[in-house]
Structure 1
Amino acid sequence: MLLGLIAGLGTCLGALLVVAFGRLGPASISLMLGFASGIMTAVIIFDLLPSSLHYGSLAATLTGFAGGILLMAFLDLGLNILAPSLFRGRGYLKMGYLIAAGIALHDLPEGFAIAAGFAAAERLGPILVLAIGLHNIPEGMATAAPLRYGGMGAGRVLALNAIISLVTPLGTFVGLELVAASYTFIGLLLAFAAGAMTYIVLGELAPESRRSNKPLAYTGMLAGLILIMALSFIA
């Protein structure tokens, strides 16, 4: 639970960077988002999916993976449907609330991943905490920037991101309860988290990282992949 909270607080750190230093340059954003994409991809390929297959059946892995993707797809569709009415007349402020809602829902399966990761293997849990915490930093920045541009005070921006940070340990708690009820949930939860993270990487992080500076984005991705591979080798 504590590590789930630490991972969730990455969102607050991202918001704090926006409040303290203002908007980062496009090059820095590309590098950071690329780095987060690389870390998430490495965790999916080298940890989540292999562990899911180890602790569950192929059918459970495929079901969980598809379920994670579908959850994020339905969330994305719902936000796109709601967007016109939310944006009308309020600009950046409405955009910030919309992003905050999406990130809060994204963080729930990330908590599942942490719970399942610690239940599956000692080294997988800490790696997931690192990966999720790092990728929450740019998400916090994405939430805070439009809210600040929309006129929200620094205290309220940080408070909103603190609330969002609590969703990850909530997901960790729910995941731990499911794992305690039946050990067979581990493989399904790992695959579900892998599917959700895959949608986030392919649909959000990777495309956005390449928008401003492709070389730095790819450099960040490679660095993230190498970091997780090195941590896995050492562990």
Structure 2
Amino acid sequence: MGEILLQSTVAGLGTCLGAGAVLLFGPMRSGTLSLLLGFASGIMAAVVIIDLLPTSLQYGQPVVCISGFITGFLFVTGMDYSLGKVLPGRRLQQIYLRMGYLIALGIALHDLPEGIAIAAGYSASAVLGPVLVLAIGMHNIPEGMATAAPLKAGGASSSLILALNALVSLITPLGTMLGLFILQVSHEMNALLLALAAGAMIYIILEKLLPASMGNNGFLALTGLLTGFLFMYGIHSLL
């Protein structure tokens, strides 16, 4: 259990790594960010298609998998809609700060099911757990960048930006602890948890990562998407 929580914490700290890159080198060029966000999208899509959904179907009935997927998708959809209704402001600095805080809160909310997914993955097989840790850690890096860039533009201090990202990163191991507890109570929850995580990840891909990536540079976004998918497919094949 200790090793699983440690790896989950490392995956969560990817947000701090991304934020640190922005603070050290400044905001990334739009093309580079498109490539990274597309790469993160490809990684997450591969995890959902190759690992989460097939493993969920192995552990439960199709109706459980479908219900979990839809629930995860709708839950994150609802949270995203709620976040868009808060923190009003018209000044450009306020807009940047609100954007940064909302992104951080959104990342924290979806890091919880990702942490649960890590617990479910390790419970399902010795292969799926490490694959999920790698995938989640990789996609947390550009998300940390996405949080830090508007906060920095809004005038937030470097210490505040790093502290906020560090706090967000702790949500992943918290989700893993919750997932491990749930699985001890009922091991059959594996199928539902994996499907929930898959639904949440698909929403993040379709509504957050891909639109942001395609909006800057469509070609680089698609290149990153394909590269990320093939990268995770190759790792899965080796494991």
Greater mean deviation of Cα atoms: 74-83 or 153-162: 74-83
Alignment of 1:95-174 (within 5 A): 95-174=99-178
Distance 2:103 2:205 in 1: 16
Range with bigger deviation, 14-23 or 213-222: 213-222
- Tell me the SS of whatever aligns to 2:86: helix
% same residue: 54
Match of 1:48 in 2: 52
1:188 aligns with 2:179: no
Shift of 1:88: 4.1
Instruction: Structure 2: state its 5+ residue gaps.
Output: none
Could you say which residue in structure 2 is the equivalent of 1:177? 181
Pick which of 56-65 and 168-177 moved more.
Answer: 56-65
Which residue in 2 is equivalent to 1:94?
Answer: 98
Distance 1:115 1:174 in 2: 8
Secondary structure of 2:140 counterpart: helix
- Give unpaired runs (5+ residues) of structure 1: none
Q: Give the TM-score normalised by structure 2.
A: 0.95
In structure 2, give the amino acid aligned to 1:122. A
Aligned to 1:25: 29
1:169-212 Cα deviation digits (max 9, x unpaired): 00000001001111101110000000000000011111111111
Q: How many residues align?
A: 233
Distance in 1 of aligned mates of 2:109 and 2:143? 12
1:151 aligns to what SS in structure 2?
Answer: coil
Return structure 1 stretches of 4+ with deviation > 3 angstroms: none
Shift of 1:3: 1.0
Structure 2 counterpart of 1:195, which letter? G
**Residue 4 (structure 2) pairs with residue 12 (structure 1):** no
Taking the aligned partners of 2:103 and 2:222, their CA distance within structure 1 comes to 25
